[in-house]
Chain A
Amino acid sequence: MAEIVAGIATSHVPFLAMHPQFELAEEGQRTRVVAGLGEARKIIEQTRPDAIVIFSTDHFDRCFYDNLPPFLVGVGEEAEGPINEWLRMPKVKLKIVSELGRFIVSEGLENGVDFASSQELPLDHAEVVPLSFITPTWNIPIVPIVVNAFAPPMPSLKRCWQVGAFVRKTITRWPQQKRIAVIGTGGISHWVGPPETGKVNAEFDRWFLQCLVDGKSAEVIEKYRNAEELEKIAGNGGQEIRDWLAVAAAMPSRLKPRVLAYEPIPQWATGTGVMAWV
């Protein structure tokens, strides 16, 4: 059976990979964020996963109001991106562990989690930006799971937690002797596009990180059952904590959480955090 060997949750702010926007952040802050991502890279190198299951967000470049699944699994042979040319990032092509992707989808459909699936899922900055720091040689194949965190109505925080927990059980039932890491990307607080763009709520971010470290995700889920309440306190980009909760739920109890970096960076319009379970 497969084994979950590590977990990472991280912001995916595109300015991490865009110049001169990267340099707009104070030097100390950007150095600490990059160091946190470097630590995440070391964790992945040391735990040697054969594949990465990555929960991330769509930004209206893969899904739209014409067809809007809450959870979409990439099950093709490979995925290429980022799809947005305006990011001016070199495109990368990553192998997908389609066998595991299809296993997660079919197990879900048989057991109450109605995943959508795609044979042609492109990547966007939500995967490419963090992976360019964590697996910069692009040598580890992935299973992308795209969560709707920007187009209401969205799956609830509770549902995202349940799906993360389901993915943990499913990975450990996958009849292959493989080592799997789980990554979630997005958040933490940020306002993407509304008049408040640039605002960061460091108090919320630190509370959220502490809840995950203390194993109190249920507190977050209960407090923000209403997506509008979460948006008021953490912005529309704060809805991406769905991906962090999915990773937290996917972690076996022997893996312990710790924060690798957190910096509130208004110049990047994002409370930028990195966390690991090892």
Chain B
Amino acid sequence: MSLYQVNKLLRDINCSMELAHRCQSEPEAVLQQYDLTAEEREAIKGWQVRRLYDMGANPLLLLVYSMAAGKDMRTYVAAMNEKVSG
């Protein structure tokens, strides 16, 4: 059920550039406010969108959160199609 919290964080970043910036400058402080597993925290901190997608995060949220985080579409699509190890 904590995937709800992943989607919630992605939604919040989509709606707030300030939060998008804070998630980059002080990720621990931001992530602490959400009930996330260690794996989810790691995937968000490392912008591992394919891993988050495979966990079940909503794809639209992954894309708009990435746009808010300043990624361009080409970088996003490349990351989404990376082979996932492990």
State the A residues within 8 Å of B (CB).
Answer: 21, 59-61, 64-66, 83-86, 150-151, 191-195, 197-198, 236, 269
Can you give 27 contacting A-B residue pairs, CB < 8 Å?
A59-B64, A60-B10, A60-B11, A60-B58, A61-B15, A61-B64, A64-B11, A65-B4, A84-B15, A85-B16, A86-B64, A86-B68, A150-B58, A150-B60, A192-B59, A192-B63, A193-B59, A193-B60, A193-B80, A194-B80, A195-B53, A197-B59, A197-B63, A197-B76, A198-B73, A236-B60, A269-B73
Tell me, rounded to whole Å, the shortest Cβ–Cβ distance linking B17 to chain A.
4
Cα A177 to Cα B37 in complex, Å, equals 58
Q: Mask for B22-60, Cβ within 8 A of A = 1, else 0? A: 000000000000000000000000000010010000111
* Residues of A with C-beta under 8 A to B73: 21, 197-198, 269
* Residues of B with C-beta under 8 A to A21: 73
**A64-B8, A193-B59 given as contacts; is B53 within 8 A of A86 (CB)?**
no
Cα A194 to Cα B52 in complex, Å, equals 11
* Residues of B with C-beta under 8 A to A197: 59, 63, 73, 76-77, 80
* Residues of B with C-beta under 8 A to A192: 59-60, 63
In the complex, whether B81 has a CB less than 8 A from a CB of chain A is yes
Picked from A66, A84, A85, A236, the residue with its CB within 8 Å of the CB of B59 is A236
Chain A residue nearest to B50 (CB atoms) is A195
Picked from B4, B17, B50, B77, the residue with its CB within 8 Å of the CB of A198 is B77
* Residues of B with C-beta under 8 A to A83: 15
State the B residues within 8 Å of A (CB).
Answer: 4, 7-8, 10-11, 14-17, 20, 50, 53, 58-64, 67-68, 73, 76-77, 80-81
* Residues of B with C-beta under 8 A to A198: 73, 77
Chain B residue nearest to A151 (CB atoms) is B58
Are B60 and A60 neighbours in the complex by a CB distance under 8 Å? yes
Cα A190 to Cα B78 in complex, Å, equals 17
* Residues of A with C-beta under 8 A to B68: 84-86
Chain A residue nearest to B13 (CB atoms) is A86
Task: Report, nearest first, the 6 A-B pairs whose CB atoms are least far apart.
Answer: A193-B59, A193-B63, A194-B59, A85-B17, A86-B68, A193-B60
Chain B residue nearest to A235 (CB atoms) is B59
Cα A66 to Cα B12 in complex, Å, equals 13
Cα A87 to Cα B59 in complex, Å, equals 18
Are A65 and B15 neighbours in the complex by a CB distance under 8 Å? no
* Residues of A with C-beta under 8 A to B10: 60
Chain A residue nearest to B20 (CB atoms) is A86
Cα A236 to Cα B60 in complex, Å, equals 8
Chain A residue nearest to B61 (CB atoms) is A60
Chain B residue nearest to A60 (CB atoms) is B11
Tell me, rounded to whole Å, the shortest Cβ–Cβ distance linking B16 to chain A.
8
Tell me, rounded to whole Å, the shortest Cβ–Cβ distance linking B59 to chain A.
3
Cα A17 to Cα B80 in complex, Å, equals 25
Chain A residue nearest to B62 (CB atoms) is A193
Chain A residue nearest to B18 (CB atoms) is A85
**A194-B80, A197-B80 given as contacts; is B14 within 8 A of A84 (CB)?**
yes
Picked from A59, A66, A85, the residue with its CB within 8 Å of the CB of B60 is A59
Tell me, rounded to whole Å, the shortest Cβ–Cβ distance linking A196 to chain B.
9
* Residues of A with C-beta under 8 A to B4: 65
Chain A residue nearest to B59 (CB atoms) is A193
